[in-house]
Amino acid sequence: MKRPIPCDVISDDSSDAENDGEEDGVFDPQQHQQFFNQHELELDSPEMITKTAEMYQNYMQELPIPSLRGSVIPCSSWMELGRSMKQLYGQPLHYLTNIILKRWDQLRTGTENQHQPLDLIIHPSKAEATIWLVEEVHRKTSSHLHIAQLWISDPMHQRFVDGIVPELCTPNS
């Protein structure tokens, strides 16, 4: 089983010949726009959404899950905890993780503890660890085709795609 490696230890010189112009298969907004211009696709066409989902998933796979997590983050909801984690670690959460956090908050509606802060129900460290575990599953195992299907069916999907773009570790840095 692979474990996260610190950025300065990563040295992968392999290259993928079939990455459709993506450097190391990483989502690059400029390359995304070049692809759009070259293929003259409508921005919301199924082909463009599928290509965007593929680049997005490749990008998310490149992000390491933070291994040093010692903070206790107070929170009143799952979505609030997710926002705090994004700020603290400077990383986006996967689209599918954001959807799950929203649903977890919705599941609390109608319960006797729906108005209690989440950190009084579940220890903040456990809640954070749960989100990172779900995040790892989404980053490493999600199909871009499934993501594309979800995006096609939800024209407002961008609400759950984070804009945080951290610098990825490269062998030359």
pLDDT in tens, 119-164: 999 999 999 999 999 999 999 999 999 999 999 998 888 888 887 6
Q: Tell me, what amino acid is at 71? A: S
CB 170 within 8 A of CB 122: no
The per-residue pLDDT for 69 is 72
Low-confidence ranges of the chain (pLDDT < 70): 1-43, 70, 164-173
Phi, psi of 35 (to 5 degrees): -60, -45
> Can you tell me the distance from the alpha carbon of 24 to that of 14, in angstroms, rounded to the nearest whole number?
9
The per-residue pLDDT for 22 is 44
Q: Tell me, what amino acid is at 139? A: R
In sequence order, what DSSP letters do the residues of 40-101 get, joined into one string?
T--TTSHHHHHHHHHHHHHHHHHSPPPS--------SSHHHHHHHHHHHHT-PPPHHHHHHH
What pTM value is reported for the model? 0.71
* Alpha-carbon distance values, 57 to 71, 94, 100, 130 (Å): 28, 9, 17, 21
What are the structure tokens assigned to 92, written together? 């986006």
Phi, psi of 168 (to 5 degrees): -85, 150
